[in-house]
Amino acid sequence: MISNERLKALLAEENLTCVLSDGNRLIKSRERGVKPLIGFIESGKSFKGFTAADKVVGKAAALLYALMGVSSLYASVISEGALTVCKSFGISVEYGTLTQNIINRRGDGFCPMEQAVADISDPQTAFNAVKEKLKNLS
């Protein structure tokens, strides 16, 4: 049985961006941002009841985790908006650092994914908005 503590350790030890487990299997990613979550959702596999550990969780990622049906989440860094989303969808949360907002990679503004879901509270709508934003950024 893989523990939440083990998932947290794997994030750092293997320099992962996120890792998920159903207690037996591990699913790891080094892809940045919300891309791995989009891929997990598009795979059609069920992640209901999984535990996740993630480096940075903003509102967009939290809504995607809610859509995936994860039951618990550890975030090294989490935004206040993401924490609110997790609570409203019954996802138990542990975190290292709580921040007001997630900043973009250049450090000069808000994360574009956060902007994409600023006025969204429905996970499926958020998924569509994030996919659209990713398409426009590439």
What are the tens digits of pLDDT across the range 31-89?
999 999 999 999 999 999 999 999 999 999 999 999 999 999 999 999 999 999 999 99
From the number of C-beta atoms within 10 Å of its C-beta (0-12, 13-18, 19+), residue 137 rates as exposed
CA distance linking residue 138 with residue 70, whole number of Å: 28
Amino acid letter, 15: N
Query: What is the CA 46 to chain-centroid distance, rounded?
Result: 16
**3-state SS record for the chain:** CCCHHHHHHHHHHCCCCEEEECCCCEEEECCCCCHHHHHHHHCCCCCCCCEEEEEEECHHHHHHHHHHCCCEEEEEEEEHHHHHHHHHCCCEEEEEEEECCCECCCCCCECHHHHHCCCCCCHHHHHHHHHHHHHHHC
pLDDT digits 0-9 by tens, 104-132 = 889 999 999 999 999 999 999 999 999 99
Cβ atoms of residues 127 and 38 within 8 Å: yes
